[in-house]
Amino acid sequence: MWIIVTILAYFFVLMGISRLAVRRADNQAFFRAGRRSPWYMVAFGMVGASISGVTFVSVPGMVLTSQMTYLQVCLGFIVGYLAIAFLLLPVYYKLNLTSIYTYLGQRLGASSYQTGAWFFLVSKMVGAAVKFYVVCLILQQFVFEALGVPFFINVLLMVSLIWFYTRKGGVRTLVFTDTFQTVCLFMALLLIIFMVVQSLHFSMGDAVRAIASDAHSHIFEFSDWRSPFFFWKEFLSGAFIVIVMTGLDQDMMQKNLTCRTLREAQKDMCSYGVAFVPANLLFLSLGVLLVQLFQQQGVEIPAQGDQLLPMFVKGEVIPLTSQLLPLLFVLGIVAASFSSADSALTSLTTSYCVDIRQKHDDEKLRKRVHLAVCLLFVAFIVMFHTLNSKSLIDAIYTIVSYTYGPLLGLFAFGLFTKLYVSQRWVPVVCVASPFICYGIACAAEQLLNYHFGYELLMLNGLLTFVGLWLCRCSVPPYTR
């Protein structure tokens, strides 16, 4: 009962923030927040928006299979954010963009523009729906199942709440609500860590020393270049992951483009990028402490790392003395999932209206599209639940990760060459590149025993770039 009250109270706070933040609900507020957002609020809120509910559950469990080597990727993130701040943001601000894919139209032509926008729309819809599906499953298990609420109603309720507080203000609302949600997320995380430390009968100093001396705290891997956890592979992949999944992603860039000036946007990007290392260090440290608690209590460590934190929250490691722990867990999950899903739905609405329909000022269209995107989001989540296949979800995540490569290739070709490309071949190249990339990955594993990790993104982008170069021409497509 207290969990339901907490979720409702949380929603009403979001609604209150939304009403205070947005006094004039027009397209300029929805798409660009009037370019008046304080950079420090955008930076702080973006940390929470980048941490989904899946991250909240999965990252602590990573220590079981990869120790703390994920921090190598996070260090690469910093390089990626610097590249965005000083290479991409100047271009976006110079062109005064609402959607970043407009750049592709101005530089490479209409076919490149539409191809980039559609790749984003499909990838973001499927990827965001999968993430939110996992969160809805957790909420069903912890909250709604005991109340006899069907899964469909659970999903419809959660997405409806997001629609209610974003339908008028869009990105203007998100700048303020994400700040509040980031506070809630980290408050919940820190309190859960504190409760684990108490359960271990540690002081905070003891906890720090226990984490530092634990074998699961191994960070740097330089010994085996074939390993997916090899430092340079993870570090460089981290940089490219950020460039593509932040710098070339309308979802992640839309709020950054609401800052008043380019310099403020660059300060936002750099500070936000550096914050990822300590943020993920907290999640991984929680994972190490949970492993120690499982061992101390003689409880078998789960085969799936995703079960590490939920088992503790459900009282399967030590008996619960109050409902505070499940309440904190649900609060953290809701804060992380809302701040991730609301920005995804807003950016999908923006991209469809601006890129596909090319109607910046049609408020009626924007309202209809926003509602339609939310309903489609519900449909995807319910479909995943109906199919109920873990292997299918893993496959969808893999497919989505492949689809960002063509965006990397398109933007790289536009930024680093002065060439143009035959418009009829752009969709062919962008669709073919992920399939060729998959074939190379399978062949490398079979013939060389080489296992691709995050570097698949770089290979995919390179293949797209080469394909575009082979279809190059020296005359702009819009002059022929």
Looking at 69-73, 103-107, 334-338, 465-469, which range is the least confident one? 334-338
**Among 35-49, 388-402, 460-474, which range has the highest average pLDDT?**
460-474
Average pLDDT of the segment spanning 432-458? 84
pLDDT at 194: 92
Residue 322 placed within a domain: yes
Average pLDDT of the segment spanning 143-164? 88
pLDDT at 235: 92
Average pLDDT of the segment spanning 256-284? 90
Average pLDDT of the segment spanning 335-355? 87
Higher-pLDDT residue of 180, 454 = 180
> Which tokens go with 143?
């909250």
224-254: buried (b, 16+ CB within 10 Å) or exposed (e) per residue? eeebbbbbebbbbbbbbbbbbbbbbbbbbbb
pLDDT at 340: 80
- Is the pLDDT score of 477 beyond 70? no
What distance in Å separates the CA atoms of residue 269 and residue 110, rounded to the nearest whole number? 29
Higher-pLDDT residue of 449, 408 = 408
**Which residues touch 7 (CB under 8 Å, ≥6 apart)?**
143, 330, 334
- Is the pLDDT score of 75 beyond 90? yes
pLDDT at 478: 56
Average pLDDT of the segment spanning 308-334? 81
Instruction: Give me the helix-helix angle, 324-351 and 151-166, nearest 10°.
Output: 60
> Which tokens go with 260?
């008043």
Segment 36-51, tens digit of pLDDT: 788 888 888 888 777 7
What band does 26 get if pLDDT is binned at 50, 70 and 90? low
Tell me the pLDDT of the chain averaged across its residues.
85
> Which tokens go with 326?
């499940």
Residue 202 placed within a domain: yes
- Is the pLDDT score of 230 beyond 60? yes
Amino acid sitting at position 452: F
pLDDT at 23: 61
Greatest Cα-to-Cα distance within the chain, rounded to the nearest angstrom: 74
pLDDT at 33: 66
pLDDT at 24: 61
Residue 426 placed within a domain: no
289-301: buried (b, 16+ CB within 10 Å) or exposed (e) per residue? bbbbbbeeeeeee
What band does 407 get if pLDDT is binned at 50, 70 and 90? very high
Average pLDDT of the segment spanning 154-172? 84
Instruction: Give me the helix-helix angle, 39-50 and 171-199, nearest 10°.
Output: 60
Average pLDDT of the segment spanning 448-462? 81
> Which tokens go with 268?
């936002």
Contact (Cβ atoms closer than 8 angstroms) between residue 449 and residue 397: no
Q: Is 170 left (phi over 0), alpha (psi -120 to 50) or beta?
A: left
- Which residues lie across from 420 on neighbouring strands? 473
Where residue 138 sits, what CATH number does that domain have? Answer: 1.20.1730.10
Residue 405 placed within a domain: no
pLDDT at 34: 67
What distance in Å separates the CA atoms of residue 47 and residue 274, rounded to the nearest whole number? 10
pLDDT at 475: 73
Per the structure, the complete domain to which residue 254 belongs is given by: 2-391
pLDDT at 391: 53
What band does 377 get if pLDDT is binned at 50, 70 and 90? very high
Residue 309 placed within a domain: yes
User: Model's pTM, two decimal places?
Assistant: 0.84
The percentage of residues in the chain with a pLDDT greater than 90, rounded to a whole number, is: 34
pLDDT at 402: 80
421: phi then psi, degrees, rounded to nearest 5: -140, 145
Residue 460 placed within a domain: no
Average pLDDT of the segment spanning 25-45? 76
The DSSP element (H or E) to which 398 belongs, if any, is helix 390-416
- For the chain, what is the domain count? 1
- Is the pLDDT score of 190 beyond 80? yes
Average pLDDT of the segment spanning 265-273? 90
- Is the pLDDT score of 455 beyond 80? no
Residue 455 placed within a domain: no
What band does 480 get if pLDDT is binned at 50, 70 and 90? very low
Sign of CA dihedral 460, 465, 469, 475: positive
Higher-pLDDT residue of 181, 99 = 99
Looking at 291-300, 326-335, 344-353, 385-394, which range is the least confident one? 385-394
Looking at 233-247, 286-300, 381-395, 430-444, which range is the least confident one? 381-395
Closest CA relative to residue 189, chosen from 17, 59, 4: 59
- Is the pLDDT score of 9 beyond 80? yes
